[in-house]
Structure 1
Amino acid sequence: MTRITLHIGPDAALAARLAQALEARRDALAARHVLVPRSLASIGPNALALAAGDTGDPETASLELDDAARSRLRRQIAGALRDEIAAARPDRVVICAARLADLLHPGDIAALRDMLAPLADAVEIVAHVDDPARLFAARYAAQVMAGRQADPRQELSLLSTPDLRAALIAARPVGDPRTGVVPVIEGAPVWLDLPGLARVWAEVFGAVRLRSASDAPIWGDGLAEEVRATFALDAAPDPLPAARPPVLPSAAWLSRARRFNVALARLCAREGYAVPMDLRRRLLAEMSIPGPPVDSGSLHAMSDRLAPDMAALNRAHEGIEPAHLAPDPPAPGWIEADPERGFRATQYLLAFRPLIEKVASTSGPLNLSPAARAAMPITARHKLAALRGSAFAPHDALPPRPGATPVFPPAPAQGTGRTIVACMKNEAPYLLEWLAFHRALGFDGFLIYSNDCEDGTDAMLDRLDAMGFVQHRDNSAWRGNSPQQHALDRAMDEPLVREAGWVAHIDVDEFVNIQTGDGTLDALIQAVGDATHVAMTWRLFGHDGQQAIEAGFVTDRFLRAAPRHLPKPHTAWGFKTLGRNTGAYEKLSCHRPNKLRAGHEDRVRWVNGSGAALPDRFARRGWRNGRGEVGYDLVQLNHYALRSVDAFLVKRARGRALHVDRKIGLNYWLRMDWSDVTDRSILRHRPRLAVEHARLMADAALSALHRAGLDWHRAKAAALRAHADFAALREQALALTLAPDERAAWALVLDTES
């Protein structure tokens, strides 16, 4: 029998302390058949409350969640919890979600019940209560530091209303992120009517357990026992170190902050700014001033109004200790504190305005594209909100490349020891273009491994071997986790690698696009001078609206790519390495040589695709460039990971060369389908490519194998389109017409390799 115990707050500090204890003791609790779900934390902050109903959370105010998006979020949460519960088979699931107390309507609470009820045999609700005035004083402080403009008279004026909870809900303003009005910040906390909170939750879930707690034990050695009692565990978890309880802002600081919030809201309304929460907190921190916090005794009218009902709760719940709920001594009625020292909010606003204009104008509602609005999960929307306006946002505003002089087809270099090592499986339609292209640049050695081919790629490589164009090795007997790494380990013993002057490992969907001089490998080697290793950074090319597998050149058909400034997701600036074969490294890996030999530390010099020196750490590790390390001026690696939609389906069915235990699905498409910026730079190489390709196709046996391979891929794609799973994947992929920052944010969330 599995039981879910759900803690709904509303005491935010206490709930945070309980959650901290649960997180710290997750593994120990799992051994006792108690599950603390990881999935809720990964989905996003306050995910349960957001899925149940719109709480007006400031962190999600701009995420554009309509009913359909909220339903998807509910399914996502339920599915993630179901998987965790099925894997762990716990007796008890414990969840701490203090924001749930802010749910306004019984319908929202019922939605939460409907989401959780199928996952367990029983769901019980527990909440921690305190004196209403004391709870409100802490919430008011948090609200002001998050942007609240109204003072406590908003709540005090409602105390004479017979149905206090209804009055608190009715007083909540309509949210408007652009003017700083966020309901959960600006509005009265609906749980201020603590008896009303218990009543509405009990109506939906049945009995609600209420508890009270003293600060001293919670922040000291009594935490473990409170966790046990709160979540009805058989035994208390191991004790946690004592922690310092949170210190509330001084009353004078709150007075300053509230007045500044009013002034800032006026500016935002006039100029259309939206201020990110982290910036607001930074600004308010600048005006801090020491002093005592708001005295909850000055809010004793709240305690007096609810005293009879609180006494009834005290009698009905054995978890409540009467001393814990005793109000602080009454004090004169609330009056806002003096902000002190001649504080003027407008002076601070004037000083902060340049920073506000720089940052705030880039934030606000997400304004999602139709595809993102229809499908983007809440976690990706959170990531997008953080990405926009940051230094990691995609754009194509890198300095322009130097102009390139058109070139014509010289004879390929011969005998210069410039070797490419490659691994292939089912690449028949693309092999000859790739080989011709790199021969035309000046590579003259090709060591190619193949495994488990069904489309004739291995037969084409055998023919090319017989013609003297490549050296083909059968890799079908590979062992380990990666056929590619198995081949690269073998390659180190091959004369074509050992005796080469330069070596690169690239795949058949990667093209070395040299931008300097006449576009040849000679020009690139001359441009990098004494560098020993060139990090050739990917430029990701998407499907560019192409759906079918066609006979034309990949480099002709796919001319739209990712923005050049694309630091996230991490795969976008991956690189492959062109390296001098100096014997400095013991091992060849997918992206670079590895295992630097002792004594060679000063004999390697790594540069980026612009010829600029890379940090010393690249001598030993690293397979991607970061900001300040990327460069495309001399060379970029055009990466056609998808090609057409049908080609993607065939690749999906084939599996992966490096990580055979990972599936290629929508995650891969989201990371790789960049069709945002036109890049025709590779076409300067087309005359030489055409000459070399014609030379290869002149062989009747080779051209027949190429055509047969193309037919095989077309037939395979047709069969996959008729398969329900692949048809659904194709439909999903075609529907995802995303803006660059939307794609980046979603890919970051889905990425399993980060």
Structure 2
Amino acid sequence: MRIHLLIGPTAETSDRFRTILKKKHALLQKSGVLTPDWNHIRIYMACSDPEAVGVIRFKRGFASALAQKALHDEIGLQLTRAVEEEKPEHVVLANGQLGSMLTSRDELERLKALLNRVSDDIHITAHVDEQARVLAPHYANKVMEGRRHALDLELELAGQESWWTGALALRGENQPWFGLFNDIQYPAPWLDYEAMLANWEAVFGAGSMTLRPIDREKLLSEDAPEMIAEILGIDAALGKVDAGKPESQHSAVSVGRVRPFNDLLIRYMQAKEFSTPRDLWRVLTGELREPGPPIAPGSLSAVSRHFEASNRRLAKRFPDLADTLKRDRKLKDWAEEDGGKGFRASQYLTAFAHRIRNNSRPIAELEEEASQVNEDATHFDDVVADKHIGGGSRDEQQKVLDKLKVNHQIVLSTHIRPHNDMGRVNEEELAGAYDEVPMRKLPEGNSGNVIVGCMKNEAPYIIEWIAYHRAMGVDNFLIYTNACDDGTTELLDHLQEMGIVQHRDNNDWKGKSPQQHALNQSLNEPVIKNAEWIIHIDVDEFINVRTGNGTLEDLFKATKGATNIAMTWRLFGHNGVHQLKDAFVIEQFDSCAPKYCPKPHTVWGFKSMFKNISGYRKISCHRPNQVIDEKRPDIKWVNGSGRDVTEDYIKGGWRSSKKTVGYDLVQLNHYALRSAESFLIKRQRGRALHVDRSIGLNYWIRMDWSDFKDITIKRNIPRARAEYDRLMQDPKLRALHEAGLKWHKEKVEALHKMPEFQELYAQALKVNLTETERVAYALSLDMES
């Protein structure tokens, strides 16, 4: 088995190859090619110099030696497992940082040792262009990332004997808090392709590396997959991909404005001993940019001359490089643009000073926080010490513990740190109760706003859920059930007799899941065909409209012609409620996850409601899928704050992101646990009276969000209660509800008497994690959905 490393060293090639590998994963797999689906940048982070914390490791929370070691072990395990399972002939890893940021022999030796776990046959491919043509956009990009030094450094290197040696000699100690990273601030050693080649082959062996020309026309074309087949030496028809777009280049005048501003900002931070967030830094420099032509490679002829001899030697070994390594026509020597319009960096620094001071943090505070993170990590010792977590052996538990501590550091030091500081809704003060709204009288052939859902053993919760949604504008319900033994089926049958819902037996489901079978069947139902809006949610999910009078009609008015509304989950924990009670779910549970919580991925999952315009062919668990092309112009997706997210979701996706999340108008309250006793029944369901306690506890930890209060849904309680009371006036319905509740209480009593369930119950209630610790835990273990 051969491992192929596509190492850039420019991002334009490695990023494009990563896209192709992802798109063609299945076809490559059929040809015996494994393309791991995790981010290959992790390989660079695992193998880079532990002491030299570069910008990527710093930004992603892998600055510590423990974090890097844990990542190295994890990648080794992932590679080994994937190769053992797939038994491929080829493994392809594409990451430009391997070529551009691994420069020492020690780093390459670490990389080789990691890969040797699965194969000794390793081949490296780098794609190159003439150095001045690469340097011009590379330098501009680094300035936009925070470089303070002008191109004078490169021009001085061009007069030295060895570019590689000279570039490395300029480097100092990284100072992350001030944005001082060698890979950003100083010349790129790898532009010396001959020295780069020698460095890699000294570790991986003579002939182990190939230099290929960057063929941008082919790389960005629909036929780009042919390049992958050629590199791998396989005869496989990989088809086409969407054409790529050329990299946009920063104007020379923008570079001339941003570069001196970077230098001034760095000196300002050092003088004030604080650190300005990189996101803010990027915003500020964005305001300095001006249109214009980019730096011309021909103005860097001194660099081109420096490499002429070595390029001839490279072209002799790799003949395809001959044309690529020819330099551009010489132009007037480069000189930094003055920024135009009387530009002075100091004026802009003065203008930005208020924003900088308000958003920057003292270095001492950051260092103290980092120290506190290590102390706080000891909390995980108690969690992992329990025999049900991390496996039985001490070694397994230590690996879990290391991952927890590392992930906790990552959570606290990166953009995934959860918080509740977003949105416009005051969630902790109860506003006035919503007014009752009479049920609509629909014309014949119109079923109105319809919920389609699936249930299994949910008898105690159904009437509240039905009453709540009827009171806020849902007209009809189509409910599928299978394998129920708690009275759910009988209760829904009677609700159908009352004209409240339509109930369908789903016991004979086929395919991947009973839920998808039900959704497929629902498309043939008149209640769905004649619906105005279709909503697919479960009985533990409540639509929480937070605008107007809290009705669907208010939401539709506020979302201005939307056809699809993505309702992001808000996960609610058990709120200290241990016992199963005959009380409203929305009244008992009001502690929840923070609004800003990008990880784990389930927190920002969403479900959707969509207008019945036949824009998609299929309903899936979270959304409609398979868009109909001729309907695309009619489709408008909005998020929970009413912002247009059509571009993000028209084709697919069921998770919100930093860009698309929103809760201001609507959110989906998700009560995955309810009470601790309800959780026991949920974990037992379908498990033949046996529970995997580690999976059960993992699920509890991932779902038991109890850090923040959100009582906004309680404005619905009076009208939901009124509708509930109207429904419960039916004596048979009341009796069926009470019978279902009795069944659940008897089930709980039986489970409490079983040692394994009682132990799970006690262990779950003992867990006490902060929101950051919960995220770290969820990221550390394989979770059950």
Q: After TM superposition, is the score higher than 0.5?
A: yes
Give deviations 1:510-538, integer Å, cap 9, x for gaps.
4577999999x99999x99xx9x998967
Distance 1:674 1:695, change over 3 A: farther
Q: Quote the Cα distance in structure 1 between the aligned partners of 2:243 and 2:142.
A: 27
Tell me the equivalent position of 1:561: 592
% identical aligned pairs = 27
Distance 1:702 1:289, change over 3 A: closer
Tell me the equivalent position of 2:114: 115
Tell me the equivalent position of 1:706: 741
3-state SS, counterpart of residue 339 of structure 1: coil
Distance 1:274 1:267, change over 3 A: farther
Give the alignment of 1:371-386 within 5 angstroms. Answer: 375=404
Q: Quote the Cα distance in structure 2 between the aligned partners of 1:742 and 1:242.
A: 37
1:677 aligns with 2:712: no
Give deviations 1:134-178, integer Å, cap 9, x for gaps.
876765454334322124565788899999978755643333444
Give deviations 1:660-712, integer Å, cap 9, x for gaps.
xxx99979975894752331752854976799989989988975653342232
Distance 1:207 1:674, change over 3 A: farther
Give, in angstroms, the shift of residue 184 of structure 1: 1.1
Distance 1:230 1:556, change over 3 A: closer
Tell me the equivalent position of 2:46: 51
Tell me the equivalent position of 1:602: none
Structure 1 residue runs without a partner (length 5+):
580-584, 596-605, 657-662
| Residues 560, 677 of structure 1: 8 Å contact kept | yes
3-state SS, counterpart of residue 7 of structure 2: strand
Amino acid at match of 1:712: K
Distance 1:148 1:664, change over 3 A: same
Tell me the equivalent position of 1:452: 483
Q: Quote the Cα distance in structure 2 between the aligned partners of 1:563 and 1:50.
A: 30
Q: Quote the Cα distance in structure 2 between the aligned partners of 1:248 and 1:572.
A: 35
Q: Which of 75, 93, 97 is the equivalent residue of 1:95?
A: 93
Q: Which of 458, 467, 470 is the equivalent residue of 1:427?
A: 458
Q: Which of 525, 531, 539 is the equivalent residue of 1:508?
A: 539
Tell me the equivalent position of 1:397: 424
Give the alignment of 1:601-620 within 5 angstroms. Answer: none
Give the alignment of 1:523-538 within 5 angstroms. Answer: none
What is the alpha-carbon root mean square deviation over aligned residues? 7.3
Tell me the equivalent position of 1:62: 59
Tell me the equivalent position of 1:551: 581
Give, in angstroms, the shift of residue 39 of structure 1: 1.5
Q: Quote the Cα distance in structure 1 between the aligned partners of 2:536 and 2:118.
A: 49
Give, in angstroms, the shift of residue 346 of structure 1: 1.7
Give, in angstroms, the shift of residue 83 of structure 1: 6.2
1:631 aligns with 2:665: yes
Q: Quote the Cα distance in structure 2 between the aligned partners of 1:441 and 1:224.
A: 52
Give deviations 1:5-40, integer Å, cap 9, x for gaps.
2243446666667778877877776665445x2514
Distance 1:449 1:359, change over 3 A: same
Distance 1:426 1:564, change over 3 A: same
| Residues 434, 511 of structure 1: 8 Å contact kept | yes
Give deviations 1:19-76, integer Å, cap 9, x for gaps.
78877877776665445x2514xx26x3321222267554553222133433444455
| Residues 176, 182 of structure 1: 8 Å contact kept | yes
Give, in angstroms, the shift of residue 429 of structure 1: 5.0
3-state SS, counterpart of residue 208 of structure 2: strand
Q: Quote the Cα distance in structure 2 between the aligned partners of 1:25 and 1:621.
A: 18
Aligned residue pairs: how many? Answer: 703
| Residues 505, 576 of structure 1: 8 Å contact kept | yes
3-state SS, counterpart of residue 5 of structure 1: strand
Tell me the equivalent position of 1:172: 171
| Residues 2, 90 of structure 2: 8 Å contact kept | yes
Give, in angstroms, the shift of residue 236 of structure 1: 11
Q: Quote the Cα distance in structure 2 between the aligned partners of 1:498 and 1:18.
A: 44
Q: Which of 276, 298, 303 is the equivalent residue of 2:302?
A: 298
| Residues 541, 558 of structure 1: 8 Å contact kept | no
Distance 1:490 1:216, change over 3 A: closer
3-state SS, counterpart of residue 64 of structure 1: coil
Distance 1:201 1:382, change over 3 A: farther
Amino acid at match of 1:540: R
| Residues 56, 183 of structure 1: 8 Å contact kept | no
- TM-score, normalisation: structure 2: 0.62
Tell me the equivalent position of 1:476: 507
Give, in angstroms, the shift of residue 452 of structure 1: 0.8
3-state SS, counterpart of residue 95 of structure 1: strand
1:273 aligns with 2:276: yes
Q: Quote the Cα distance in structure 2 between the aligned partners of 1:593 and 1:250.
A: 43
| Residues 569, 668 of structure 2: 8 Å contact kept | yes
Give, in angstroms, the shift of residue 185 of structure 1: 0.3
- Structure exhibiting the larger radius of gyration computed from Cα positions: 1
Give, in angstroms, the shift of residue 740 of structure 1: 12
Give the alignment of 1:296-445 within 5 angstroms. Answer: 296-299=300-303, 318-319=317-318, 337=336, 339=338, 344-346=343-345, 349=348, 353=352, 375=404, 395-398=422-425, 403-405=431-433, 423-428=454-459, 430-431=461-462
Tell me the equivalent position of 2:692: none
Q: Quote the Cα distance in structure 1 between the aligned partners of 2:699 and 2:711.
A: 24
Give deviations 1:203-256, integer Å, cap 9, x for gaps.
543335344556689879999998778656679999999999979878776555
Distance 1:279 1:433, change over 3 A: closer
Tell me the equivalent position of 1:738: 771
Give, in angstroms, the shift of residue 356 of structure 1: 6.8
Structure 2 residue runs without a partner (length 5+):
381-401, 627-636, 688-694
Amino acid at match of 1:95: L
Tell me the equivalent position of 1:264: 265
Give, in angstroms, the shift of residue 485 of structure 1: 6.8
Q: Which of 651, 657, 669 is the equivalent residue of 2:682?
A: 651
3-state SS, counterpart of residue 298 of structure 1: helix
3-state SS, counterpart of residue 61 of structure 1: helix
| Residues 506, 518 of structure 2: 8 Å contact kept | yes
| Residues 485, 589 of structure 1: 8 Å contact kept | yes
Distance 1:672 1:293, change over 3 A: farther
Q: Which of 669, 673, 693 is the equivalent residue of 1:642?
A: 673
Tell me the equivalent position of 1:659: none
Amino acid at match of 1:273: T
| Residues 9, 15 of structure 1: 8 Å contact kept | yes
Distance 1:403 1:481, change over 3 A: same
Give, in angstroms, the shift of residue 115 of structure 1: 2.7
3-state SS, counterpart of residue 39 of structure 1: coil
Tell me the equivalent position of 1:8: 7
Give, in angstroms, the shift of residue 91 of structure 1: 2.5
